[in-house]
């Protein structure tokens, strides 16, 4: 049975461990790409907002108090800090890192879906 992209996204979200970031740190909040399905869940930003964020090498959803779309943040954002390939520059991490097979499946999902700039 084929699973939809939305089902895969839900599956992966439940398998990426969470951890406590350094308060006020946004080192991982740079320009990222995400699937069209995940992008559709995020508030629409203007071209000017996208251009301004890109000029700062930031994310258009990063506000003064952090990520404005944290609950709906894309898979790539959720992966930061949970795998040696996307290590937190400040050394934060979950007690148990993401399962390498799940990480591989997520990267295969990225490669098999249309990715757009957040």
Q: Dihedrals φ, ψ of 35, to 5°?
A: -70, 155
Q: Is it the case that residue 87 has pLDDT exceeding 80?
A: yes
Q: Is it the case that residue 33 has pLDDT exceeding 70?
A: yes
Q: Is it the case that residue 91 has pLDDT exceeding 90?
A: yes
Q: Identify the band that residue 3 occupies on the pLDDT scale cut at 50, 70 and 90.
A: confident
The angle formed by the CA atoms of residues 20, 26 and 27, to the nearest 5 degrees, is 100
Domains in the chain: boundaries: 5-14+28-117
| Element containing residue 37 per DSSP (H, E) | helix 36-40
Give the pLDDT score at 109: 97
The C-alpha atoms of residue 67 and residue 117 are separated, in whole angstroms, by 16
């Amino acid at each position: 049975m084929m699973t939809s992209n939305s089902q895969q996204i839900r599956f992966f979200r439940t398998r990426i461990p969470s951890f406590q970031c350094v308060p006020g740190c946004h080192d991982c909040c740079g320009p990222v790409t995400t699937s069209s399905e995940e992008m559709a869940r995020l508030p629409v930003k203007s071209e000017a907002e996208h251009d301004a964020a890109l000029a700062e090498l930031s994310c258009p959803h990063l506000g003064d108090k952090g990520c404005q779309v944290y609950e709906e943040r894309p898979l790539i954002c959720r992966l930061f800090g949970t795998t040696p390939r996307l290590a937190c520059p400040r050394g934060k991490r979950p007690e148990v890192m993401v399962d390498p097979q799940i990480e591989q499946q997520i990267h295969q999902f990225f490669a098999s879906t249309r990715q757009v700039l957040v």
